[in-house]
Amino acid sequence: MITRPSQPVPVTQSTSVKPTLLKSTAFSYAEILSLLQGQDDEWLFSRAQLATELQFNQQVYLRGIVEFSNHCRNHCHYCGLRTENRQVTRYRLSNEEILNAVDSIAELGLGTVVLQSGDDFNYSGNRISALITEIKRHHNLAITLSLGDRKHQELEKWREAGADRYLLKMETFDRALFARCRPKANFDERIARLNYLKSLGYQTGSGIIVDLPGMTDAILACDIQHLSELQLDMLACGPFIAHHQTPFATSPNGSALKSHRVSAILRLMNPGANIPATSSLDALEKGARELALKRGCNVLMPSFTPAQVSGDYSIYPGKNQQQNPAAERLNQVCQQIQRHGLIPSFSRGDSKRTQYVSRH
């Protein structure tokens, strides 16, 4: 049985539970499985909320994301950007377009930019390095990269240029399910790449897709354990959403509630990690992303991808639906945060898992 208080613990209450929540909770596999199945949602969510607010002083970190290319060489069965999808309109932003979007992020006062794309080798290692250098020259921004499986030499070069963080999602740590969902991808190489990113001094992130077709609660419980064992700075856990132009088109969507359980468990096991409330939550269920801020998540990433192409970054249906100006979207996000008594943070928002030193 999981040791729990008899009643949910209010955030304002002085309690001996607080120091404990600043340390990792060592759930067993059986305990994780029980929590995933909804055996104690009230306890889980109240404890995750308290842990998050204690760790981050009720702040929610904001990042501006620029999705600069939807070209991808991969064949993932769940993703609308898979190379076999001939129905998606492909785009690539020029360096000038990327930098203009970054300028907008900086002008609005955000402390982090996220540069994301499919696995698109049209953007060479040198080109990405030049972009990083240019951003650092003009702005005091932390740079997160999410560019897929790139060569070790490129990852090292980008770190030297000033990149601060790298996100490389596994989607699952179950080898058989990984092979089914990500044909032609190499499981061991991806794990090795995560460890190499850590060795370079990146704040490193990974994540899982909750309720992937074929994923059982038993697999998901193991995924949570594996993800936590990596001791990462960023953890992501969005729900599966079926895309009609993929082999998983007829598979049932995942559960927002189960995604919330995963984020809450991850928070208690990884108290200092940054955990975003993913846009896929709102695409699945209105209000689910906002609610995730009370269930272990502490990061929101509004999109600054140019409106004329943002709808084509369709990794799942419903992504990037808003077309209103970036400043207006950011204001809406801030209002969502404040509705829950939380504080929008425009800081860099570095991981609290370790003491981090920037290269620039």
Give binding residues for [4Fe-4S] cluster as ranges: 72, 76, 79
Binding residues for S-adenosyl-L-methionine, by number, are 171, 182, 190
Radius of gyration (C-alpha) of the chain in whole angstroms: 19
Nearest to 169 by CA among 156, 187, 184, 151: 187
d(CA 47, CA 268): 8
Tokens for 345, please give them: 């943070």
The per-type count for the chain, helices as H runs and strands as E runs, is: 14, 9
Torsions phi, psi of 111, nearest 5?
A: -100, -5
The DSSP call for residue 171 is B
Of 337, 304, 282, nearest in space to 60 by CA: 337
The answer to whether 79 and 107 have CB atoms below 8 angstroms apart is: no
Contact 233, 353 (CB under 8 A): yes
Which residue from 290, 280, 302, 281 is spatially nearest to 346, judged by alpha carbons? 302
125 Cβ contact partners less than 8 Å away, ≥ 6 residues apart: 150, 151, 153, 154, 157, 158
Q: Which residues pair with 312 in a beta bridge?
A: none
List residues forming the annotated binding site for (3R)-3-methyl-D-ornithine. 146, 280
Say what angle helices 187-199 and 152-161 make with each other, to 10 degrees. Answer: 30
Annotated binding site: 72, 76, 79, 146, 171, 182, 190, 280
Q: 276: which strand partners?
A: 299
How distant is the alpha carbon of residue 36 from its chain centre? 20
Write the single-letter amino acid at 152.
Answer: H
Centre a 10 Å sphere on the Cβ of residue 14 and count the other Cβ atoms it contains: 7
Q: Is the dihedral of CA 139, 144, 150, 153 positive or negative?
A: positive
